[in-house]
Structure 1
């Protein structure tokens, strides 16, 4: 949150994510984390996780890998906000969300729940709510997506990837997930 009360959403976490793993070796969390749906959240004390990593090199390596993937996603989000036009930003976001949700078994035939409001999308993509609404209408008009009642269906996956300049490589998922 800025001093003016404006919010920048830096990530949308989904089932299976470990939010803010990068703070493991820091004293305090420098961001706020909230939920947009009812969810179950588990908490692990940093000291416990650090001891586990000291004893289990594979766990430490897996958590380090996860942190590096989050860093790659963060770089991609910065590129998305800083260098893509609004339509491309939205298309890229939809592609990333579908790929990540599919990896967790939450997608069927390019269709999944998308419990994110236009206001939250606007805060994630650096656009006004009005602009987000127009962009979503354009994606519908182009026949790329259907979005209603917080349910996203991608109608033309190949074209949506093209519009969003999307390459899932930065997510480092198995090919079957992408």
Structure 2
């Protein structure tokens, strides 16, 4: 049965994201779209999809909504170690390990596709471009983690927050989720503080500093970057680690 226009629209972020990393054949796109459609799932905001210690037997691809990866200390303090945006996978190869070493939660209501391990392995075995695209995404996620480590370890507060805003904008751009220099920003100040290793008070002060400098506007769950080059300069941001552009 052919996919409807609404079905294609829902799958588009994932297809666009993977196609940024590797050109996908028409057959690969069709096979992946059907697999995602069969595994559609929905979750509300603030739900754990996976908890640290859980076994993994599926690949989850986010189609709408924002998620985060996080670790929690014994005293309850949370560190967000990455965001997961539409088009990105939660755990493309996590099933190769016995259990999760971190938790994944929704920040907003979300739609995602859950593809069982056997089906996923069949998909990537049948098409090299699809296999390479998923491996590339895993490698990009690793690069993002390295950049977040530098953010926490070496950048000062204003650089950390500016860098995070630049990264969010650039990661949303390939999947068509920016308009001009604006994008949705459903993450709360607590979420942003947990992602940058700052207190909520310090995070708020830093956001106000970026606003006062005229670099950003953050209002009504929307981030607008007034001067992207200047914000990148303030953040010491270089987007090459995101692998946004394919080599010819």
Do both share a fold (TM > 0.5)?
yes
Shift of 1:59: 2.1
**Whole-Å separation in 2 of the counterparts to 1:158 and 1:70:** 24
Greater alpha carbon shift after TM alignment, 23-32 vs 2-11: 23-32
Shift of 1:50: 2.2
Shift of 1:37: 1.0
- Residue 201 of structure 2 corresponds to residue 105 of structure 1: no
Helix, strand or coil: the match of 1:12? strand
- The partner residue of 2:95 within 14, 24, 27 is 24
- Residue 122 of structure 2 corresponds to residue 51 of structure 1: yes
Q: Deviations over 1:82-128 (max 9, x none)?
A: 11000000000000111111111111111011000010011110000
- The higher relative CO (CA closer than 8 Å, separation ≥ 6) is in 1
Q: Deviations over 1:10-34 (max 9, x none)?
A: 1111110101224131122221111
TM-score (norm 1): 0.94
CA RMSD of aligned residues (A): 1.3
Larger % of strand: which? 2
Between Structure 1 and Structure 2, whose CA radius of gyration is higher? Answer: 2
How many residues are aligned here? Answer: 175
TM-score (norm 2): 0.68
Structure 2: runs of 5 or more not aligned? 1-71
Structure 1: runs of 5 or more not aligned? none
Shift of 1:169: 0.4
Shift of 1:80: 0.6
**Whole-Å separation in 1 of the counterparts to 2:118 and 2:100:** 15
The residue aligned with 1:71 is 142
**Whole-Å separation in 1 of the counterparts to 2:127 and 2:137:** 16
**Whole-Å separation in 2 of the counterparts to 1:22 and 1:4:** 30
**Whole-Å separation in 2 of the counterparts to 1:23 and 1:35:** 18
**Whole-Å separation in 2 of the counterparts to 1:23 and 1:97:** 23
